[in-house]
Each structure stands twice: as C-alpha cells, then as structure tokens.
C-alpha cells in the first residue's frame, strides 16, 4: 500500500500530540512492579505501548511483541524476575535484532534464558525467578534500553545492582529518564561517573499522567522549517521534560524555528535565521537523526551528524535507509564508520517519481512525508508503520492542510 502526500494549503494548526512512548513503556513496567491500583493517565496508544499493555494484562505464557524493540527489551528483563516459564517472540525483523548483551547480563545476575531459534536473537524462553543481582559491567555504547531494562528491575534483586558502564555512554537522557521515573515511584539510584547503584527495595504505587512526545513534535518542527510563515501550537509538551528529545527545540533554532513555551505546550514558528552548516553529536538523541538529516538536505544545509552508532540496530538499518531514500531525491550523503552521516552538498539526478520505502520504520515515513512541501508531492510506501509511535500522524497532517491520496 502507498499514499501520495501533497503539501498543505495553509500554514497554521493546533496539534494534539501523542503521549510519550518512552515514558509510557517505562511507567507500564514500574506500575506493574509496584502492583499499582492506579490507571495511567494519557497512556500512549501506539503499537509499541499496546503490545506491552496486552502482555502485562494477559494470563498467557507466550507473548508476541511484533516489531516493538522497547517491549522486547523491557519485557525480557521484567519476565526474568516473574516466577514462571515464558516465551517472548516478535516479528521477522525482531528476530534479526540482537538481544544477546541483555540476555548475558541478566543471566550473570541469576536469570535463566534460552534461545528458541538463532543464538543471540529472539524468540526467547525465559524461566522467571528471583534474581541474585550484584555487580555487572556493561559497555556504555549499547542501547540505553538494555540499561533501562536492567535498572527498572534492579530493586527486586537480592543484592540490588551495581552497574559499571564501560567507555562512552550513549543515549544518556534515556537513562536519566528511567532513573527519574524510578525516583517518582520511590526508588532512588546513585549515578556517579560510570557507575549506577540501585539498592534492594520496592516501588510504591502512584497516580501518573504521561506528557506528550517530543520525538513526535520533531516532525512538526521539520514542517515549520520547510514552510516559511508557518506557525503550529503543539499541545502537552513540557519545557523541563524528562525526554532527551526535547532538545529538538534547540537544534531547530539553528534551522530557523523559534519555540515559545506556554501553559499548554509550545508554539513554534519560522523565523528565517538559519545556520550555514549543521554539526551535531546525536549520541543522546539518535531518534532525531532522520528528522534533522532530511530537513537539512531539503534546505540545502550541509551537515555532519555523529553519534549514530545505534541507528543500525533500530527498526531498520537507518543509516542505509537514509542514504538510499535521499539518493532518490538527488542527495548523496555519506557515512563514516557506521556512526557519522554527512553531506557536503553533493547532488545526483533525482528520480522523477520516487517512492519512499519505509523499511517497517515509523520514523522514515514521518520524516519523509514533509518532502511533499518542496517537491509538490511524495509517495510513501506502507504508511501504517506510523502506528508504532504516532497513530494519528496522517490525520494530524491532514488537519494541518496536507492532502493525502491512496494509490
């Protein structure tokens, strides 16, 4: 299935953004561990969160989390401490995404987990029991979701957890998010240098309301940057957010977008003040890479984005996906050591009617839809992938004046 996206006929809109997927998925685990009687307010309705809700509410022993990477990592850790025998599986792409580092870490802390198919990859057979815990060393450049998964169950280990992160730590804001949410539920960790210590303890149940998603907001910043004179009101965002992707406001200031914080969210508008070249380390915000790279290319702003080493193990190999799809539009971007993407302004002949492949990756669809503003229209394959994090995306951009046609 494909859709053709046409540019908007107006440039102002109010947008009710989806709830944060990252916060939702963490709070679901903390709510379950605290045996909370409270219903989580404003819980995300995206696919990644829905599969976790179904798993946590199910009386089954086999859980299919489809393509939800966060759910796979968080549920692997969660089930390892829940007494019983469990099977955790997912989509064919999920079966290609490595999980050995997390499994090895859990097993060193007392878990018993087996691979049902390929060594190092889902599906998993998990024999849940009380974990011993203790000291653990882990490379800091692994997915922060591995680290967060371990931290959230750490209070329920007999010895707690003393986690030593070796080398450079990527996606620090997501680890900070996890620790702040754990603190809200009554467990405070100590993080000094590369060591995080969580003492044995218990979470306390609390009422919780999820804030809106800054990652979802990034696509509206992109639209604003490509559409001079535009203004958008984005509801539910917080200035002092636990989300690392809130830094999108700072990044897009260099791309001509001003942010005004209000009582209900933010107002963004085009101001025209653009940098000549964008150089950023996205180690802490890898999910913003597609939005920023597509925006810079379309605005003819050379760039160098580093810290992208985690992009190869996301929903797809995002580095290759970006190179492939931008080439269709006439932009030749290069990668260095699978961790840097840069563009010096080099062009090639664009395809006359390019079809943007989404590679089962929600962020590819949402980052490339605004291309219609500069090209007059763009075709997106498999548009339903946005359900993974932003189910109302197509409806929201239609409400903002974009035209969408099934083809």
Q: How far apart are CA 344 and CA 203, in angstroms?
A: 50
Written as six digits, the tokens of 62 are: 């086999």
Instruction: Dump the DSSP string for 76-113.
Output: HHHHHTSSEEEEEE--TTGGGS--HHHHHHHHHTT-EE
Helices (H), 288-361: 289-298, 318-328
Each residue of 239-265: b (16+ CB within 10 Å) or e? eebbbbbbbbbebbbbbbbbbeeeeeb
Q: Locate tokens 């653009």: which residue?
A: 274
- With b for 16 or more beta-carbon neighbours within 10 A and e for fewer, the 73-82 pattern comes to bbbbbbbbbb
Going by C-alpha positions, the residue among 59, 87, 55, 60 that lies closest to residue 70 is: 55
Decide if 45 is catalytic.
Answer: no
Pairing of strands 278-281, 303-306: parallel
What is the DSSP-derived secondary structure letter of residue 358?
-
Would you call 86 exposed, middle or buried from its count of C-beta atoms within 10 A (0-12, 13-18, 19+)? buried
Task: Give Dmax over CA atoms of the chain in angstroms.
Answer: 62
Q: Which of 48, 284, 287, 396 is catalytic?
A: 287
Catalytic residues: 287
């Amino acid at each position: 299935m494909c859709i053709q996206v046409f540019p908007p006929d107006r440039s102002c809109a109010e947008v009710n953004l989806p709830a944060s997927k990252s916060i939702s998925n963490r709070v679901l685990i903390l709510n379950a561990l605290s045996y909370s009687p409270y219903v989580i307010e404003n819980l995300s309705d995206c696919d990644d969160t829905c599969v976790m809700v179904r798993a946590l509410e199910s009386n089954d022993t086999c859980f299919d989390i489809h393509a939800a990477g966060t759910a796979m990592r968080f549920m692997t850790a969660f089930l390892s401490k829940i007494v019983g025998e469990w099977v955790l599986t997912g989509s064919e792409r999920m079966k290609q995404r490595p999980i050995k580092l997390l499994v090895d870490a859990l097993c060193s802390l007392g878990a018993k987990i087996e691979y049902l198919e390929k060594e190092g990859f889902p599906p998993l057979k998990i024999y849940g029991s009380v974990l011993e815990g203790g000291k653990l060393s882990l490379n800091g450049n692994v997915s922060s979701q591995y680290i967060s998964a371990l931290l959230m169950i750490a209070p329920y280990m007999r010895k707690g957890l003393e986690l030593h992160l070796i080398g450079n730590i990527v996606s620090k804001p997501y680890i900070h998010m996890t620790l702040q949410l754990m603190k809200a539920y009554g467990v405070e960790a100590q993080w000094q240098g590369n060591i995080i210590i969580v003492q044995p303890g218990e979470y306390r149940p609390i009422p919780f309301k999820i804030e809106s998603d800054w990652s979802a907001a990034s696509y509206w910043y992109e639209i604003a940057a490509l559409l001079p004179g535009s203004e958008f009101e984005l509801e539910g965002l917080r200035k002092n957010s636990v989300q690392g992707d809130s830094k999108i406001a700072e990044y897009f200031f260099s791309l001509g977008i001003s942010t005004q914080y209000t009582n209900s969210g933010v107002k963004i508008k085009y101001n025209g003040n653009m940098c000549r070249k964008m150089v950023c380390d996205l180690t802490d915000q890898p999910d913003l890479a597609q939005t920023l790279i597509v925006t810079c290319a379309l605005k003819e702003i050379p760039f160098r984005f580093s810290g992208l080493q985690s992009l190869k193990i996301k929903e797809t190999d995002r580095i290759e996906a970006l190179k492939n799809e931008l080439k269709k539009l006439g932009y030749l971007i290069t990668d260095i050591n699978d961790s840097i993407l840069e563009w010096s302004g080099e062009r090639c002949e664009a395809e006359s009617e390019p079809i943007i492949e989404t590679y089962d990756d929600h962020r590819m669809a949402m980052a490339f839809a605004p291309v219609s503003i500069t090209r007059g229209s763009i075709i997106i394959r498999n548009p339903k992938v946005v359900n993974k994090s932003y189910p109302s995306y197509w409806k929201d951009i239609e409400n903002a004046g974009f035209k969408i046609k099934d083809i």
